[in-house]
Amino acid sequence: MKTRIKELRARYDLTQEGLASKVGVRRETIVFLEKGKYNPSLKLAHDIAKALNSKIDELFIFDD
């Protein structure tokens, strides 16, 4: 799975730490998400999308 978290995070001038704080996770979780090494729960995906004023399907790109 690929994500656009880093791209959208930059748009809002948010650090990994800042986004992590907004959604209630550790910075490492955001790092792993951005690298595609972690699949978020639906709630976390929703919280991140909301924090980045985005939709889940715009934020996460699923490879077939």
Under the banding of pLDDT at 50, 70 and 90, the label for residue 62 is confident
CATH code of domain 2-59: 1.10.260.40
Domain boundaries, the chain: 2-59
pTM for the model? 0.90
Residues 35-44 have a mean pLDDT of 93
Task: Report the alpha-carbon distance of residue 52 to residue 15 in Å, rounded.
Answer: 12
Q: DSSP per residue over 11-52, as a string?
A: HTT--HHHHHHHHTS-HHHHHHHHTT--PPPHHHHHHHHHHT
Q: How many CB atoms within 10 Å of residue 54?
A: 17
Asked if residue 7 has pLDDT above 70, the reply is: yes
Under the banding of pLDDT at 50, 70 and 90, the label for residue 31 is very high
